[in-house]
């Protein structure tokens, strides 16, 4: 996969040189190029923003530098043999970035990121490139960042670890929380490693019982506990056809009941805890 990032803060993307993404680059599984948007400004002050039409606070990133930068970056990529670009524009008003979208992006050969600072990029830029390629406007959560650069790091890491051969064990993202499939709709429960006692704290006996069935059941119960506590919305969304008798028991213990339609909801008297 090829990734281009156009930004007014190239240093912000330094983390792409380390850890999983850095190693994928070193192995040639991922080609990353970071470009300074100000290289496509031609005035003395390297202006990339201007006041919004219609008034209001903040500044809007100008069409000129973005259009010239994206044209050159796209031309350079095509020249280097890349194909099938998609433009990714991180913005708090984008669609939620999910594991499902990470999988979709990981299947594309070339991602071009256009993170905005200020109040955003002039709409015409996205509209223009949308006539030539898919444009993904994505948000990484319900909070406001000063710019999209941190989101580029988030999306790149989520995508890179899905590329073939990037993770050590090819199976290791199969049962990620949120991965489409088996444990799909539950968060992962707690994990432990050696030593068996730390500051007087022991590990759950079942994990050293050698009883694989009991261990799997315990892990699933813990996944239900954690999901019920941190993400009750995920339990409500679950298809109860995927629940066995033990699942129903643990859910009932946690205060959840099946409604006539089959989905689970939480008994209101237990909602306070």
Would you say 89 or 254 has its CB closer to ligand 6GU?
Answer: 89
Does 197 carry a binding-site annotation? no
Q: Does the annotation count 92 as an active-site position?
A: yes
Structure tokens at 206: 């079942």
Measured between alpha carbons, how far is 63 from 60 in angstroms, rounded to an integer?
9
Q: How far is the CB of 95 from ligand 6GU (least distance, A)?
A: 10
Q: Does the annotation count 205 as an active-site position?
A: no
Q: Does the annotation count 119 as an active-site position?
A: yes
Out of 10, 15, 52, 92, pick the active-site residue. Answer: 92
Structure tokens at 28: 């040639």
SS3 265: strand
CB-neighbour burial class of residue 133 (10 A; exposed 0-12, middle 13-18, buried 19+): middle
By CB under 6 A, the residues from 108 to 147 that bind ligand 6GU are: 139-141, 143-145, 147
CB-based closest residue to ligand 6GU: 90
Name which position in 3, 21, 74, 151 contacts ligand 6GU (CB under 6 A): 151
Name which position in 65, 77, 85, 90 contacts ligand 6GU (CB under 6 A): 90
What is the residue whose two structure tokens read 């109860």? 240
Query: Taking CA 63 as the corner, what is the angle to CA 59 and CA 66, rounded to the nearest 5 degrees?
Result: 100
Helix (H) or strand (E) holding 31: strand 31-36
State yes or no: residue 7 binds ligand 6GU (CB under 6 A).
Answer: no
Q: How far is the CB of 12 from ligand 6GU (least distance, A)?
A: 12
Among residues 146, 142, 76, 73, which one has the least CA distance to residue 115? 146
Out of 161, 217, 220, 248, pick the active-site residue. Answer: 161
Q: How far is the CB of 32 from ligand 6GU (least distance, A)?
A: 18
Structure tokens at 43: 């005035």
Would you say 112 or 238 has its CB closer to ligand 6GU?
Answer: 112
Would you say 67 or 147 has its CB closer to ligand 6GU?
Answer: 147
Q: Give backbone dihedrals phi and psi of 192, rounded to 5 degrees, phi first.
A: -140, 150
Would you say 109 or 141 has its CB closer to ligand 6GU?
Answer: 141
Does 6 carry a binding-site annotation? no
> Between the CA of residue 203 and those of 121, 190, 192, 195, 206, what are the distances in Å?
51, 10, 7, 9, 9
Structure tokens at 185: 């709709």
Q: Does the annotation count 176 as an active-site position?
A: yes
Structure tokens at 183: 């444990």
State yes or no: residue 91 binds ligand 6GU (CB under 6 A).
Answer: yes
* Alpha helix segments (H runs only) across the chain: 19-26, 63-79, 99-106, 123-129, 149-160, 212-230, 232-237, 245-253
Out of 176, 188, 248, 266, pick the active-site residue. Answer: 176
Site map 34..73 versus ligand 6GU, x via CB under 6 A: ----------------------------------------
Does 254 carry a binding-site annotation? no
Tally: H helices and E strands in the chain: 8, 11
Residues annotated as binding site for S-adenosyl-L-methionine?
Answer: 140-145
By the criterion CB under 6 A, which residues form the site for ligand 6GU?
90-92, 139-141, 143-145, 147-148, 151
Instruction: Please give the positions annotated as active site.
Output: 92, 119, 161, 176
Residues annotated as binding site?
Answer: 140-145
């Amino acid at each position: 996969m090829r990734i281009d990032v156009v930004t007014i803060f190239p240093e912000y993307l330094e983390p792409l040189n380390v850890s999983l993404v850095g190693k994928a680059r070193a192995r040639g599984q991922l080609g990353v190029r970071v470009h300074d948007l100000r290289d496509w400004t031609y005035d003395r002050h390297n202006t990339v923003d201007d006041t919004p039409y219609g008034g209001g606070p903040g500044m809007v990133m100008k069409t000129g530098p973005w259009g010239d930068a994206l044209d050159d970056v796209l031309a350079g990529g095509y020249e280097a043999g890349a194909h099938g670009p998609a433009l990714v524009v991180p913005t708090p008003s984008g669609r939620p970035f999910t594991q499902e979208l990470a999988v979709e992006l990981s299947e594309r050969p070339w991602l071009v990121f256009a993170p905005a600072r200020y109040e955003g990029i002039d709409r015409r830029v996205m509209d223009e490139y949308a006539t030539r390629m898919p444009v993904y406007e994505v948000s990484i959560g319900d909070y406001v960042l000063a710019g999209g650069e941190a989101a580029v790091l988030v999306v790149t890491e989520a995508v890179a670890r899905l590329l073939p051969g990037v993770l050590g064990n090819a199976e290791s993202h199969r049962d990620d929380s949120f991965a489409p499939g088996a444990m799909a709709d539950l968060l992962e429960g707690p994990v432990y490693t050696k030593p068996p006692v730390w500051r007087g704290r022991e590990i759950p006996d079942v994990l050293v019982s050698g009883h694989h069935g009991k261990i799997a059941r315990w892990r699933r119960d813990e996944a239900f506990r954690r999901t019920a506590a941190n993400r009750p919305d995920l339990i409500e969304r679950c298809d109860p056809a995927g629940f066995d008798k033990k699942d129903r028991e643990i859910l009932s213990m946690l205060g959840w009941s099946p409604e006539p339609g089959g989905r689970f909801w939480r008994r209101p008297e237990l909602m306070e805890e």
